[in-house]
Structures are given as structure tokens and as C-alpha cells.
Amino acid sequence: MHLVLAAGTPADLEALFDWLDGDADISVRRHLTPPEPGELGPLADALIVSVGAGGALTVLAASLRGFFQQPRRSKVKVSVRREADGAVTAEIDADRVRGADVEAMLARILDES
């Protein structure tokens, strides 16, 4: 299963990609949208994270907790949805979420499949 993560700004999305890509246990790739007329190239509008059996959810939750705890990340909001149906099923607000809540939110998204 794949989860799609979207952040509020392109800079937040790129920072999240760099953070997750630095974790060898997480498979993440950018979802690129074609450029609009007059733009030079495609932009990443979301990240695709592969989540499977065997603790991948725990690893992703721990990595997101670490990302949110960064001093400049306290205002980041990340929307999470399943790739299959596209419905936004959770928004994680770094300013309001407790560490344990991240894994519970991700688990709920996967259980609704």
C-alpha cells in the first residue's frame, strides 16, 4: 500500500522528502506534476511512501515524529491519504499532535482500506 503525503508549502514538502529519504527503512518518491505553460519544469506536489507489513508504519511514524520535532517544523501540516482512493483521511498538524498520535493516525488510515 502507498500513502500520499502533502505539505503546505513546496519548501516543507522538499524538507519532508529529504528527511524521509535519509531513512534507509523508508521508501519515498516524489509525485511530479507537469509544468504549467511558462514554467521550466515539473514540480513535486506530493510524496509517495510505500507502507507494507513488518513495522513499516512504526518506522514512518517515528520518522514523522522526528521531523515534526525539528525547531522550524512546528508549523508544518501534512495531509495523508491512501493512493488507491485519493480521499484525504488525516491531517497531521505538527503544532498540535503528540508523538503517539502520529502512529495512531497512520494506523487508522491503513485500517480503513
Q: What is the pLDDT of residues 84-108, one digit of tens each?
A: 666 656 777 777 666 667 777 777 7
How far from each other are the two terminal CA atoms of the chain, in whole angstroms? 9
pTM of full prediction above 0.85? no
| Residue type, position 104, single letter | A
- Nearest to 10, CA basis, from 27, 33, 26, 28: 33
**Inter-residue contact 31 to 49 (CB < 8 Å):** no
Selection from 10, 3, 16, 7 nearest residue 87 by Cα:
3
Asked if residue 16 has pLDDT above 70, the reply is: yes
Q: Check residue 97 and give its pLDDT.
A: 67
Instruction: Give me the residue label for grid cell 502520529.
Output: 102
Q: If we measure between CA atoms, which residue out of 84, 92, 72 comes closest to residue 5?
A: 92
* pLDDT score at 73: 60
**For the residues of 49-90, what is the DSSP string, one character each?**
EE--SSSHHHHHHHHHHHHHTSGGGTT-EEEEEETTT--EEE
